[in-house]
């Protein structure tokens, strides 16, 4: 080697905005919210590894919690390599529509960079909305970046309203993931934060007949455990 570096910089990449939408209503109190905190914390390193191995994206993370009203848990986009999770608490009702309105505001064309990868929205909930979900969904889908977002939903336990989550996803080929226990939740959260993240930016090998969400091809999710045997919720 001559010792002189070759010219130029890194491979050109685009930003990818990733949003957690976490249900912190009263019904999540106790094991569920602790499992959610644990699952997200456990997904950070794999998520960083995936981002680190991805030359096509600069991943930025934000988070919204919803209970009685919706609020930003992480308001400013954080680079994935700096992402830390502050535990959330559970109390109140389920303002899922409010959460969608909040994320819709930030997906406005005026606030998003000009050139991006599809945003990724991951919703985690154990119940059904107590506010106007449809109005929230409409405000999201009215934004071009909302429509282009890869929307993934994880329902926890028996009371999760899978129909609402299916509406949020907006593509029939992708089903809400139904977590029957803490282990499922950990697996699904990890899948959403690694496999889906990767698919939205630099899709891996394309397996024939895989699900196409309309935005990006999404590889198959891990299989849930048998709900009859191991249902702790």
Partner 1 sequence: MSSLLKRGQILHGSNTQTAYEIETFLGAGTQGEVYQAKTNGQLVALKCYFPQYIKTDPNCQQRLEKAISKGNPDSNFLWPIELVFTDKTPLFGYVMPLRADHYKSIVDLMKRRIDPGFRELITACLGLVESFLHLHAKGFCYRDINFNNIFLNPQTGDILICDNDNVDVNGVSGAINGTPRFMAPELVRGDAAPCTESDLFSVSVLLFYMLMLHHPLEGKKEADIRCFDQAAMNRLYGNEPVFIFDPRDNSNYPVKGLHDNALTYWPLYPQFIRDLFIRAFTTGINDVQHGRVRENEWRNALIRLRDSMVYCACGAENFYDSEQLKEGQQQVCWSCKQPLIYPPRLRIENTIVMLNHDTRLYLHHIDKTRRFEFSQAAAQVTRHPQDPNRWGLQNLSDQSWTITLTDNTVKTVEPQRTVNLNAGIRINFGSVQAEIRV
Strands 57-67 and 69-79: antiparallel
# of chain residues touching partner 1 (CB under 8 A): 49
For residue 28, give Cα distances in angstroms to 21, 117, 152, 168: 14, 32, 19, 20
- The footprint of partner 1 on residues 29-88 (CB under 8 A) is 42, 45-46, 53-56
* Of 85-93, 113-121, 134-142, 151-159: span binding partner 1 (CB under 8 A): 113-121
Residues 6+ apart with CB under 8 A from 77: 17, 60, 61, 62
Applying CB under 8 A, does 222 fall inside the site for partner 1? yes
Residues 60/48, Cβ–Cβ less than 8 Å: no
For the CA atoms of the chain, what is the radius of gyration? 18
Q: Please report how close the Cβ of residue 134 comes to partner 1 at its closest, in angstroms.
A: 24
CA–CA separation, 105 and 101 (whole Å): 6
Cβ neighbours of 210 (radius 10 Å): 14
Among 114, 172, 228, 229, binds partner 1 (CB under 8 A): 114
Among 124, 164, 216, 233, binds partner 1 (CB under 8 A): 216
Residues 6+ apart with CB under 8 A from 6: none
* Of 31-39, 66-74, 126-134, 208-216: span binding partner 1 (CB under 8 A): 208-216
Q: In the complex with partner 1, which residue's Cβ is closer, 3 or 84?
A: 3
Q: Please report how close the Cβ of residue 131 comes to partner 1 at its closest, in angstroms.
A: 29
**Binding-site ranges for partner 1 (CB under 8 A):** 1-12, 14, 42, 45-46, 53-56, 114-118, 144-145, 148, 187, 190, 195, 202-210, 212, 214-217, 219-220, 222-223
């Amino acid at each position: 080697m001559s010792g002189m570096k070759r010219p130029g910089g890194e491979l050109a990449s685009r930003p990818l905005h990733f949003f957690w939408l976490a249900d912190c209503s009263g019904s999540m109190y106790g094991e569920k919210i602790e499992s959610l905190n644990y699952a997200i914390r456990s997904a950070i390193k794999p998520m960083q590894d995936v981002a680190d191995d991805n030359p096509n994206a600069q991943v930025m993370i934000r988070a919204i919690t919803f209970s009685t009203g919706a609020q930003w848990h992480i308001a400013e986009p954080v680079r994935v390599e700096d992402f830390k999770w502050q535990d959330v608490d559970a109390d109140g009702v389920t303002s899922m529509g409010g959460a969608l309105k909040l994320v819709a505001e930030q997906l406005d064309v005026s606030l998003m960079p000009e050139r991006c990868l599809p945003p990724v929205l991951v919703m985690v909930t154990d119940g059904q909305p107590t506010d106007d979900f449809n109005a929230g969904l409409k405000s999201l889908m009215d934004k071009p970046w909302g429509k282009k977002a890869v929307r993934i939903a994880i329902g926890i336990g028996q009371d999760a309203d899978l129909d609402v989550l299916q509406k949020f996803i907006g593509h029939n080929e992708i089903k809400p993931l139904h977590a029957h226990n803490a282990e499922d939740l950990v697996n699904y959260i990890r899948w959403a934060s690694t496999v889906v993240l990767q698919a939205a930016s630099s899709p891996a090998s394309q397996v024939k007949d895989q699900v196409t969400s309309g935005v990006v091809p999404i590889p198959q999710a891990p299989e849930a455990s048998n709900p009859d045997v191991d249902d702790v919720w």
